[in-house]
Structures are given as structure tokens and as C-alpha cells.
Chain A
């Protein structure tokens, strides 16, 4: 065939490798208007050399003839598959089934699994195509994300499940199919884990903070700074919304504490201990599930209301400024989940108080 012309002979002498020989053969053939068979061989050569774009280029150039040949379409589908153009690969495999295997395919679809004879499909490559379609749809489903259209996600999943069922009908290796089913299950679980779920929880913390208390002289208006250091417990309730990556919450707790208080300087002498301080701490918070789903780090933005029973030494001479105050601040917090109980630690600051606020406690998830 192609070795008849003198130009071809020159080329053959220059070729060194096996592939080069085949390429030269096909090249010379193509010069003389290649047949579909020769083009299919060339497509296979490009696949072997992983020159995938050339497979598609050749198909585009010779589409009229190659689209009528299942072997060409099969190579085109493989090329798409390798380039992760899964949708295009699916389209080609469907075309192969529809155009070249329709009677057998119809028979497989319409016959119940128990009654289906191997003779109905054994002279076709339907088992391979079904598996490929199951695999490609599983891949596409696996690549969907929170912004993927719902109908697309549902379609890929249903198609994958449908072709797995067809593959099972035509006796594709069950181990391969189970692997695809596991991939689907894992993906569904991942999707489910990304959904936010709401739940209630109760908190019990040991809490300590410092308050700035200002004693004002009624006569002169002179202000003296007192510092109150409180420690107590805080019992509360919260609601959280969490997925596998984040947790958002809104909670509040009622704090009962005792405080010692004295002047920060020697200008006045004020000392008191075991002072009852009550308060409410509430606000939103969030956690990142940084290390794992059970070890969480995050922030909380508390609004703190507190009221202290500090004794006024002489109400005619002094008064307290802001015995009741509402303040805001922040907590850096960590939480470790152990089944339904979590251990929580928080460190932060409530402005404009000096010192820090911290808590350590337990959370019970309902």
C-alpha cells in the first residue's frame, strides 16, 4: 500500500523506532487520503503516546467518517476520559451504545435481571460501556460542590446508580461496582456533613474576671479606681448550628460569683472580700474544626451585664459609678468533644475592664 512511492521509501530509511515506522506508514497513507481504519490506528497511536489532543483533532478533521465507526468513538471517549472531560466522554459512550448496540441495550433494559441471558449481550462491549458510564457519572458526582446546581448533582448520582445497576445486570465484576458504590456513599456523606444542623446545649463554666469599679466623692466629684476580682460559676443554655467544618452558636449564661475588691492606689483605703457579684454573659460565637471534628478553636463575642453588691462606705459622701454595667468583649475559645460532653476553655477581655476574663467548663449536647 503506502510503501510503493519513492518518497515513502526515503522516509522509511530515516525512521528508527517502531512507532516511527508506524507513524511513517500512516503519514504516507494519509497523504494518499487515509481510510477510517488507518485513522483509527493513528488515534490509537496518539493514545499510546498520550498525545490526547491529537486524538480529538484527528476526530474533528475526519468526523464524517470516524463518527460512523465505534472503534474511533471508543478511542475518542478514552481520550476525553483521560483528559477528565467526563461529560464529553459520557456523551460519546452513549452514542456508541445508541448507534451500535441498541438492540442488545434495549434487551438488557427490558429484561429482568434474573431472566437476562448472557447471549443477549456477550457479543457486545456493553458491560465495559455501562461500567465506564457508571464510573464517569460517579466521578462527576464526586466533583460536585455546594455551588453545583442541584439538578446536576441529582442527575449524576442517579445516572451513576443506574449504570451500576445495569453493570451488575451484565455481570461486571462486583468488586469494581462496590468500589463505585463506596465512592458514592462517601460523597453523599461528605455532602451531608456540609449541611448545617441545629441543636441545643447546656453549659457550666468556672469563670473569673476583673471589674473596674469607680467610687465617686459626692462633694468633690473626685473618682477613685477600685479593682474587683471575681470568680464563680456560670450556668447557661445555647443553640448551635454546625457542619463538618464550622460551628456557629448563640448562647447565654447566668453567673454567680464572689469578689474581692480594693483600691488600686493608696489614695483611699477600701477593702472588701466575699462580695456577691451576679451577671449575665451572652453572645454569638463560632468555631473552626481545625484539628478534627472533635477539637474546635474559635471566638466568642460576649456582652456582659454585671451587678455587684459592693458596700458604699458612706452614702452621704460617696456613690458608685456604674454599679450595673453592660460591657462587651471577646473570647478566644477551644472546645474538645468527648461524645455528648465537651470541655471548653475561653480566654478574653471585656472592655474597658483591666485584666482578662477566662472560663473553663463543660458543655452538654442535647
Chain B
């Protein structure tokens, strides 16, 4: 029994070690985009971007360096559609996305290990109908690697490499209100792109933690809110499905700043998790921004009764150096309240969009354990990512 519990617990948290990115850029509040729905079909970000988001990506986010100086921006914007073409159908929006990662663990040490990971290879189809596209469906399907913790074990067979991570139907009776049902990310905290961030792994809202459920979205310039009730990922064993509810609320302060609160309660047969978070996203001058989230997570395991409280914090600045180039700096904090130990992760990154549909990114992470049991030299990891989309 213990082994099964342990095994299922591992599966339930395998997302910690998966390397597929759910991409969303809450940092673009620096460009004046307070709400994700401006550019994404999903009102809380992630998943395919809409026509406006594609045009913004091509004409405001990506560099012009590889385009002829005389090429007009509106033509670049028109080429941001599927396969570089302007959409001809009013109702269908296909897309495809790929992310690959070159990872060097223990960078610069004798124990350095290098590997290349195909993090994501997805196709997606969005259909939209009705006045102001008030009816919408979105289905993604693609490849995701077997979780690292399960590779070369019998458990690997239980995970499908080709699966859907998001599919939902949506109804927006008005620009303010939206109702969605299907497999979606939970509405909690800032949905940062770094899926290994403590802010995503600790409350278990990272890249494969989506759940089937319904989401209500309310959006006005002054504030935005979402409530998500879910019954777990129905493709998982019933005992693993995390059921519960999540909600997030953001209030706009001085136009380009948002203060937010989130709560999450979810449980399965092995774990009960309750999380609270407060965050701020703040747009600075000229496309730059800072984000900060602090959270508390209570975890109660059921098979072996134990309780623990974890704390996390995530600070990130996202600085537009030139059009197409961003410099990021992250500082993350994680603490398990059981002991006095804690971890701090620090990472500078460069993000470069050379042309529309291409993102290159290099992250350098320094992880430092403040442990009174054993002191170890800090660790550096180097990550070089490529992200292509059509």
C-alpha cells in the first residue's frame, strides 16, 4: 500500500519534473496589456494567441532587425497569421507550437550534464462563432515528454507522450463576462512562463496540472476576476484527480499596475492542498515590468498523515532592452516551515524575438540551499530555449 501511495503521489506531482512550458507572458503589462484576454483566447493566458495577439507579437514584441526597413508594419502584422498568411476564415484559427530546451545542469562543474528536451510540440484549433465571437472552442493536442521522475521505470507506460493539455468551450455573452468549460489551467496566481518556478510548483499549478472544470471570468478596466471549479484531469486515475476550486482577483492601480489575490483548494485521495497568494504586476516605462508574488501553501497528506506548510515568493523584472530583446532577472524563495532550511534561486535571462513566430531565450539559474544540516556549494543551471509557432 505504501509503495502504491508513494508511486501515485509521485505521479500526482510529476509535473514538478516535466519540462513542457505553458506559455504566458504576464510581464507584457509593461506594454500596457493588463489583461491576458487582449491577446489570448483563454482569458487567463496560456494557449493560442488571437489575431490581435499575433499582430502585437509581430509588430511590437518581435525585433524588426531581420526585416527590410521599408517593409510596413501592417504587412508584418498580416504575416503573423497561420503559416504567415492573413486568416481567410472568420471561424477557424489553427496554430502549431514547438519548444525545445538545451539544459546544462551543474553548469561549469565537473558533474555538468547536458541534454536536449523537446518540451512541447502542439497543434491547436480554435473555432469561434456568433456576434463578437461569443462562442468559442479551443482544442490542443501534442507531444510532451515522459516525466523525468518516471523515465526508465515501469511507471513511464502509464503516461501518454501524446495528449491534450487544453480543450474547452467558451461563451462570452458580453465583453465583461465569460464562461468556459473543459480542461484548463487553474485560476491561481500569476501564470508565469517558468513552469519550474516555486510559485507554480509549490501550489501545484504548473504545466500538467490542468483540470476539467468550469471557469467564470469577469473583466473590466478597473478589475478582473476568475473563479474555477474543477473535478481533476479526467484522463487520470480517479484517485489522482485533484478536485476543488480556485479563484483570482486583480485590481488596477494607476493604469499599468495590478494588485492581485488568489486562493486555491484542491484534493485527491492522497493530498489536500490549500494555497493563498498575493501578487503585484507593474508596468514600467517603455515596455518593461516587474512582477512579485508571495504565497503560502498548506499540504496535508492522507495516506501517511502529515501536514506541512510551505512559503514561496517570486520576484521578476522584465526589461525591454530594445524592440525584440528583453532582459529578465528572477529571485525566488521557497521555504518548508518544518525546518529552518530554505532555498533561494536567482536567475538572469535574455529573451530575444528575432522575427515574428520565433523566440530564443537563455536562462542562467543559481540555486542556493540555506541548510543547517549540510552546506553545499551553490549550483548553476544553464537553459537555452527555442520556441517556434505558426
Residues in chain A within 8 A of chain B (CB atoms): 206, 208, 210, 226-229, 231, 259-264, 271-274, 291-292, 294-295, 334, 336, 338-339, 343, 345, 347, 354-356, 358, 360
- B341 to chain A: which residues have CB within 8 Å? 260
Cβ–Cβ contact B346 & A228, under 8 A: no
- A358 to chain B: which residues have CB within 8 Å? 346, 366
- B284 to chain A: which residues have CB within 8 Å? 338
Residues in chain B within 8 A of chain A (CB atoms): 284-286, 288, 290, 315, 317, 319, 321-322, 325, 327, 329, 331, 340-341, 344, 346, 348, 364, 366, 368-378, 380
Most chain A beta carbons < 10 A, residue from B288, B344, B364, B374? B374
Cβ–Cβ contact B340 & A343, under 8 A: no
Cβ–Cβ contact A334 & B327, under 8 A: yes
- B370 to chain A: which residues have CB within 8 Å? 229, 231, 259-260, 273
A334 to B318, CA, bound (A): 13
- B376 to chain A: which residues have CB within 8 Å? 227, 264
A228 to B369, CA, bound (A): 11
Cβ–Cβ contact B340 & A291, under 8 A: no
A208-B346, A260-B371, A345-B329 known; A355-B377 Cβ under 8 A: yes
- 20 further A-B contacts with Cβ under 8 Å, apart from A334-B329, A347-B364, are A206-B331, A208-B346, A210-B375, A210-B378, A228-B375, A229-B378, A231-B370, A260-B341, A260-B371, A260-B375, A264-B376, A273-B370, A273-B372, A292-B321, A336-B317, A343-B317, A354-B377, A356-B366, A356-B378, A360-B315
B322, B329, B372, B374: the one within 8 Å of A291 (CB): B322
Cβ–Cβ contact B377 & A227, under 8 A: yes
What are the 4 A-B residue pairs with the smallest beta carbon separation, nearest first?
A227-B375, A273-B372, A291-B321, A262-B375
- A355 to chain B: which residues have CB within 8 Å? 368, 377-378
A259 to B368, CA, bound (A): 12
B285, B331, B348, B374: the one within 8 Å of A262 (CB): B374
- A208 to chain B: which residues have CB within 8 Å? 344, 346, 368
A262 to B340, CA, bound (A): 13
Cβ–Cβ contact B321 & A271, under 8 A: no
13 contacts between A and B (CB under 8 A): A229-B375, A231-B370, A259-B370, A260-B340, A260-B371, A260-B372, A262-B372, A291-B321, A295-B322, A336-B327, A347-B348, A358-B346, A360-B329
Cβ–Cβ contact B375 & A261, under 8 A: yes
A208 to B331, CA, bound (A): 11
A271-B372, A291-B321 known; A231-B288 Cβ under 8 A: no
- B373 to chain A: which residues have CB within 8 Å? 262, 271
- A274 to chain B: which residues have CB within 8 Å? 340
A206, A264, A295, A336: the one within 8 Å of B375 (CB): A264
- A356 to chain B: which residues have CB within 8 Å? 366, 378, 380
A336 to B326, CA, bound (A): 11
Cβ–Cβ contact B377 & A339, under 8 A: no
- B321 to chain A: which residues have CB within 8 Å? 291-292, 295
A339 to B285, CA, bound (A): 8
- B331 to chain A: which residues have CB within 8 Å? 206, 360
Cβ–Cβ contact A343 & B372, under 8 A: no
Cβ–Cβ contact A336 & B366, under 8 A: no
Cβ–Cβ contact B375 & A338, under 8 A: no
Cβ–Cβ contact A295 & B319, under 8 A: yes
Cβ–Cβ contact B344 & A231, under 8 A: yes
- B371 to chain A: which residues have CB within 8 Å? 260, 262
A260 to B317, CA, bound (A): 28
A355 to B368, CA, bound (A): 9
- B377 to chain A: which residues have CB within 8 Å? 210, 227, 354-355
The majority secondary structure among interface residues of chain A is strand
- A354 to chain B: which residues have CB within 8 Å? 377
- A336 to chain B: which residues have CB within 8 Å? 288, 317, 319, 327
- A261 to chain B: which residues have CB within 8 Å? 372, 375
- B344 to chain A: which residues have CB within 8 Å? 208, 231
- Tell me, rounded to whole Å, the shortest Cβ–Cβ distance linking B292 to chain A: 12
Cβ–Cβ contact B348 & A345, under 8 A: yes
- A264 to chain B: which residues have CB within 8 Å? 375-376
- Tell me, rounded to whole Å, the shortest Cβ–Cβ distance linking A234 to chain B: 14
- Tell me, rounded to whole Å, the shortest Cβ–Cβ distance linking B64 to chain A: 15
- Tell me, rounded to whole Å, the shortest Cβ–Cβ distance linking A274 to chain B: 7
- B286 to chain A: which residues have CB within 8 Å? 294
- A273 to chain B: which residues have CB within 8 Å? 340, 370, 372
A58 to B277, CA, bound (A): 85
- A291 to chain B: which residues have CB within 8 Å? 321-322, 325
A70 to B367, CA, bound (A): 79
- B288 to chain A: which residues have CB within 8 Å? 336, 338
A292 to B369, CA, bound (A): 36
B322, B340, B364, B378: the one within 8 Å of A292 (CB): B322
- A345 to chain B: which residues have CB within 8 Å? 329, 348
Report the nearest A residue to B346, measured CB to CB: A358
- A228 to chain B: which residues have CB within 8 Å? 375
- Tell me, rounded to whole Å, the shortest Cβ–Cβ distance linking A162 to chain B: 37
- A272 to chain B: which residues have CB within 8 Å? 372
- A347 to chain B: which residues have CB within 8 Å? 346, 348, 364, 366
Cβ–Cβ contact A226 & B317, under 8 A: no
Most chain A beta carbons < 10 A, residue from B319, B325, B341, B348? B319
- Tell me, rounded to whole Å, the shortest Cβ–Cβ distance linking A2 to chain B: 50
Cβ–Cβ contact B319 & A343, under 8 A: yes
A126 to B119, CA, bound (A): 73
Report the nearest A residue to B348, measured CB to CB: A345
- Tell me, rounded to whole Å, the shortest Cβ–Cβ distance linking A91 to chain B: 39
- B325 to chain A: which residues have CB within 8 Å? 291
Report the nearest B residue to A344, measured CB to CB: B329
A228 to B319, CA, bound (A): 33
A210, A227, A295, A360: the one within 8 Å of B346 (CB): A360
A206 to B375, CA, bound (A): 21
Report the nearest A residue to B317, measured CB to CB: A343
Cβ–Cβ contact A226 & B375, under 8 A: yes
A28 to B331, CA, bound (A): 85
A71 to B371, CA, bound (A): 89
A262 to B375, CA, bound (A): 5
- Tell me, rounded to whole Å, the shortest Cβ–Cβ distance linking B76 to chain A: 22
Report the nearest B residue to A332, measured CB to CB: B348
Most chain B beta carbons < 10 A, residue from A336, A339, A343? A336
A226 to B377, CA, bound (A): 11
Report the nearest A residue to B328, measured CB to CB: A345
Report the nearest A residue to B331, measured CB to CB: A360
A347 to B346, CA, bound (A): 9
